[in-house]
Amino acid sequence: MESESTLAAEPPLIEDDWALFLDVDGSLAEHAPTPDAVLIDPAIKQALPALSRKCGGALALVSGRTVAALDALFAPTAIATAAGLHGLERRSHAGWEPAPAMDAPFLALATEAEAIARRYPGALVECRGGCLFLHWRAAPEAASELGAFADRIRQRLPRHRLHPGAHGIEIRPLGMDKGEAIAAFMADPPFQGRRPAFIGDDPADEPGFAQVNARGGISVLVGATRPSMARYRLANPGDVRRWLLDSLQGEVMA
């Protein structure tokens, strides 16, 4: 990583020649105790189609959620282009790339994790697309045991990598991250040839920051200052929403 992101500067307003990539949880919307409790501001649902038009259709959600979960979260607004599961599944103008199937041994590990989580009300285990997500935001007392479980199974998953976060651990297949997802989008129209911008809040967003930096783009950290490759910062999702709406001044929203 580069040196600590201490820039107080907000990013410039969005230009017509940008390609805009948006993380969701912690960036567009505040975190909640469980993923199902996250809410998207109706003003942002209304603004996203206008932002997409401003960028010539080059707007995509890039999230740890599945694409199906993103569709449900943003309904009735339809987002044509999205990367789910950190890029393991991707929907674009070129078509649909599904996440890999999960085999029986991997599903057995998920069952072990669920047995631990049941001992801590509020802890959550999600298993989808070859990924195992261990969440303890609503049950911080589960952190030690679920963290130990993740360390214990590391040797049983040589083709996976552990990604610790502030309130959980994601266990994901090697070879894909948000940076790779952004690179795949940038290879095709309508993203090709545009200046990329990526807004994210989490260590899992760092590959996305690196990707847009390498292309001379705009990388925006959301939240408190921490070591990051991002070159700009917005203090919280409320500031992200304000920035997006300010970028649409004078644009037709309907």
List active site positions: 23
CA atoms of 109 and 89, how far apart (whole Å) = 22
Question: Do you know the residue count of the chain?
Answer: 254
CA atoms of 221 and 41, how far apart (whole Å) = 20
200: phi then psi, degrees, rounded to nearest 5? -155, 165
Say if CB 160 and CB 173 are below 8 A apart. Answer: yes
Q: Which helix (H) or strand (E) holds 84?
A: strand 82-84
Buried/exposed code over 195-231 (b: 16+ C-beta within 10 A; e: otherwise): bbbbbbbbbbbbbbbbbbbeeebbbbbbbeeeebbbb
Number of helices (H), then strands (E), in the chain: 7, 12
